[in-house]
Amino acid sequence: MTSNLQKILVAQGGGPTAVINQSLVGVVLEARRHKGIDRVYGARHGVRGIVDEDFVDLTQETSHNLELVAATPGSALGSTRDKPDLAYCERIFRVLRAHGIGHFFYIGGNDSSDTVRIVSQQAQAAGYPLRCIHIPKTIDNDLVGNDHTPGFPSAARFVAQAFAGANLDNAALPGVYLAVVMGRHAGFLTAASALGKKFPDDGPHLIYLPERTFVLEQFLADVQAMQRRHGRCVIAVSEGIHDASGAPILAQLAQDLERDAHGNVQLSGTGALADLLCAEIKQKLGIQRVRGDTFGYLQRSFIGCVSDVDQREAREVGEKAVQFAMWGDRDGSVAIQRTGYYSADYSLLPLDAVAGQTRVMDDAFISPSGTDVTDAFRLYLRPLLGSGLSDAYRLRPAPVAKVLHSGG
Amino acid sequence: MTSNLQKILVAQGGGPTAVINQSLVGVVLEARRHKGIDRVYGARHGVRGIVDEDFVDLTQETSHNLELVAATPGSALGSTRDKPDLAYCERIFRVLRAHGIGHFFYIGGNDSSDTVRIVSQQAQAAGYPLRCIHIPKTIDNDLVGNDHTPGFPSAARFVAQAFAGANLDNAALPGVYLAVVMGRHAGFLTAASALGKKFPDDGPHLIYLPERTFVLEQFLADVQAMQRRHGRCVIAVSEGIHDASGAPILAQLAQDLERDAHGNVQLSGTGALADLLCAEIKQKLGIQRVRGDTFGYLQRSFIGCVSDVDQREAREVGEKAVQFAMWGDRDGSVAIQRTGYYSADYSLLPLDAVAGQTRVMDDAFISPSGTDVTDAFRLYLRPLLGSGLSDAYRLRPAPVAKVLHSGG
């Protein structure tokens, strides 16, 4: 049964990305051309804005400004980390019913898909005709049922470009360079660092993913071996690396771990993990020049680093969400499937098939050593990064014969 | 007296930048068209490569590949932090004389200009006809006698874009966001964060520069005031902030300060300062969501973020260096002067006028509060950032009347 109500509501949840506003604008512009819809509301700061009745009328925004907002990173409506429970959902229903809203679109990641699932169940239980569609977004690329998720390609592009540049810097002033990349459970974004490599001796020389157990002694042996081979070493480390028990390596350092409402440990917004690992390298290996960076919020917020493929697909998942809602007859989560190299199509998955689950990297994407990616991963990621990627060139060897030191 | 020798040598010193290879290629291509020069050598890893006789023959490189290298960040010849003393310079002379080199071009910052000055003096003292030209490069923008220095505009563009994005992220998920920016003594790069602002309530809301004394209590009061006004606060902090005695704030935290051969404390490559300041904000102000980033090496090495104005000028200082050397009759440091809004010209300053000195921000560039920049600074910096900067747009307010909460 398709709702006869005349209003739709769209909201954004979780961490902003470079392209989440494309999905928002995809929903708004597509909804505005449907005769059955006379109002498009946006909730400010996700589900929080629903319970607070903090709505804006997107029907009154110009198409021109919507296009400009679409090209702007961040969440234009604002976001939230709230995860609704039963009582929270009751409040959501009261508001939706009071405003005559029949379609709810929530753009977000794992936690947001779970929110949509709960709201959908509550709506059914309450007999309220609400169509609930989850629209995927996450830089971690950890939604199941998707070839990849909007937001990830642009963040991956940032990580690849960052390592391409860091490798050049490190080649000029050799030493150990280590950078910590976002990704709590899935290593896709850290693995994207490999796409910054061009020449065989380029970094990153070592990549540490949450899909593999991190053993400090092995890490130090790996770094020492690369340092001896190349006279330098560039390392990509996922913020989610953990020991055999699953405990975060960072937990060995931090005494007060901040947890959010979802029970997640705060891994971002601190340079502690990079500093800890650098200190270990200095102390245990006696390497003098060791530098650590933490890409932090730059990798999801930096303006001016976006994949055109990601932009297009983020727009399309928003458009498709409205089409599925208006022409279909079920709730669900929009998913991206790869149909060619490179082409994508969209489907609607059951919310139960997506919500509350976490996708990690296939074994086929990780080299047997556990510290590199495979060609399968490079082929998987490359088209997503989009066009116009910067390339690195080097001088060709043309050594000049020594005059004074010619004897050696 | 212009040297009759037929070879020139070029080298790169100090931290790499996004455009230092433009200057290298400017020297090489300009030198190759002069009839008086039959070989263009490059020293690998700066002055270290000279004493090691580690030269490459750039006369044998294709123009096509040189152009591609010019567009690549990093130091294509490699760099060094070595600062030659008397004995080091004696070794340099022996090598230069043995190879028949008559012109020495060194691309670098403060420390490199001092190296050129020492080498020039030693050459004169030894009666060796060596033309020594310093070519400016520094992301810190701290060379005296220059309107600005190549490398700074591209790094400033990175910082401005990073804060433009961080501000959008922070607006979506409000809290305190603090990022530490490079700049040991000069605040230009940190101040560039202000160019990421568009709307009056955009961050950065507070900017802390090494040109002003940092007082922790005042800092906390500033943050609290901004948090109350905007419900959030974005802060730019220079790595070089110091107390009234000149001691780095970081020194209050770090126990083992690493110093390089120039006696500089290592301020980059660690997230300690951001983490310290965030901890203070959490503890003293009781604000829950506080995130700190350290831009680290990204701001000087990120590939794909470059100012076209910076590229052009970096190329020109290299070209002009060769022209000054061939057609002039004195050693010196190439300097950029502003001649219009926006246009630049180049002159050759005496090495003594540049070497060993540090330029900091004019008082006219810093607001009376000490935590913001003036319009004079915005006008100064804007044309340097180049074309094609990303812009941020937002939804216009169109609130929907509350139904349930209409009573308040």
pLDDT in tens, A275-286: 889 989 999 999
Whether the CB of B280 is below 8 Å from some CB of chain A: the reply is no
Q: Which residues contact B76 (CB under 8 A, 6 or more apart)?
A: A172, A394, A395, B12, B21, B24, B69
CATH code of A154-304+362-385, in short, is 3.40.50.460
Question: Is the CB of A98 less than 8 angstroms away from the CB of B404?
Answer: yes
- pLDDT by residue (tens digit) across A63-94? 999 999 999 999 999 999 888 887 888 788 88
Give, for all 408 residues of chain B, the pLDDT tens digit.
444 558 999 999 999 999 999 999 999 999 999 988 999 999 999 999 999 999 999 999 999 999 999 999 999 999 998 888 878 887 888 898 899 899 999 999 988 898 899 889 888 888 888 999 999 999 999 999 999 999 999 999 999 999 999 999 999 999 999 999 999 899 999 999 999 999 999 999 999 999 999 999 999 999 999 999 999 999 999 999 999 999 999 876 554 445 445 445 555 557 889 988 998 999 999 998 999 999 999 999 999 999 999 999 999 999 999 999 998 888 999 999 999 999 999 999 999 999 889 999 999 999 999 999 999 999 999 999 999 999 999 999 899 999 997 544
DSSP annotation of A249:
G
> Whose structure tokens read 């597509």?
A30
Which CATH architecture is the domain B153-304+362-385 placed in? 3-Layer(aba) Sandwich (3.40)
> What distance in Å separates the CA atoms of residue A405 and residue A105, rounded to the nearest whole number?
72
* Any B CB within 8 A of A75 CB: yes
Structure tokens belonging to residue B99: 């190879």
Using the Cβ of B65 and the Cβ atoms of chain A, whether some distance falls under 8 Å is answered with: yes
Q: Report chain A residues whose CB lies below 8 A from the CB of B296.
A: 179, 291-294
Q: Measure the CA–CA gap between A104 and A91, rounded to whole angstroms.
A: 15
pLDDT reported for residue B291 = 93
Give the alpha-carbon dihedral of A362, A365, A370, A375, to 10 degrees. Answer: 170
Residues in Cβ contact with B217 at an 8 Å cutoff, skipping those fewer than 6 apart: none
Q: Give dist(CA A222, CA A132) in Å, integer.
A: 48
How many CB atoms are closer than 10 A to CB B348?
19
Please give the helix or strand (H or E) that residue B116 lies within, else none.
helix B110-125
What is the reported pLDDT for A123? 87
ipTM confidence score: 0.94
Report CA-CA distances (Å) from A313 to A75, B153, B394.
Answer: 17, 33, 21
Structure tokens at B19: 């455009």
Residues pairing with B236 in the sheet: B179, B207
At position B327, the amino acid (one-letter code) is: W
Q: Which of B53, B270, B403 lies at the smallest CB-CB distance from A402?
A: B53
Catalytic residues of A: 140
What secondary structure letter does DSSP report for B184?
A: S
Alpha carbon distance B319, B73 (integer Å)? 18
* B205: closest CA of chain A, how far (Å): 17
With contacts defined as CB-CB under 8 Å, which chain B residues touch A12?
172
Domain with CATH 3.40.50.450 in chain B: 7-150+305-353
Q: Angle A239-A245-A250 (CA atoms, 0-180°, nearest 5)?
A: 30
Confirm whether residue B139 is marked as ligand binding. Answer: yes
Of A53, A196, A270, which has the smallest distance from its Cβ to B292's Cβ? Answer: A270
B332 and A CB contact within 8 Å: no
B10: left (phi over 0), alpha (psi -120 to 50) or beta: beta
**Minimum distance, in Å, between the CA of residue B308 and any CA atom of chain A:** 14
Q: Within chain A, which residue ranges are assigned CATH 3.40.50.460?
A: 154-304+362-385
B175 neighbors A15 (Cβ within 8 angstroms) = no
Once rounded to an integer, what is the mean pLDDT over residues A240-246? 94
B299 marked ligand binding residue: yes
Phi, psi dihedrals of residue A301, rounded to the nearest 5°: -120, -15
Q: Rounded to whole angstroms, how far apart are CA atoms B392 and A74?
A: 9
**3-state class (DSSP) for residue B20:** helix
Q: How far is B169 from chain A (nearest CA, A)?
A: 5
Q: Which residues from A are below 8 Å from B94, CB to CB?
A: 404
Predicted pLDDT at B314: 98
Please, what is the Cα angle at A74 between A69 and A77, to 5 degrees?
70
Annotate A74-137 with DSSP letters as a single string. S-TT--------HHHHHHHHHHHHHHTEEEEEEEESHHHHHHHHHHHHHHHHTT---EEEEEE-
- The topology under which CATH files domain B7-150+305-353 is Rossmann fold (3.40.50)
In DSSP terms, A136 is beta-bridged to A108
A141-193 pLDDT, tens per residue?
999 999 999 999 999 999 999 999 999 999 999 999 999 999 989 999 999 99
Q: Between A297, A303, A403, which is nearest B98 by CB? A: A403
User: Which of these CATH numbers, 1.10.30.50, 3.40.50.450, 3.80.10.10, 1.20.140.150, describes A7-150+306-353?
Assistant: 3.40.50.450
Q: Is A110 annotated as a binding residue?
A: yes
A41: annotated binding-site residue? no
Distances from the Cα of A136 to the Cαs of A17, A27, A156, in angstroms?
Answer: 11, 13, 16
Say yes or no for a CB contact (<8 Å) between B292 and A271: yes
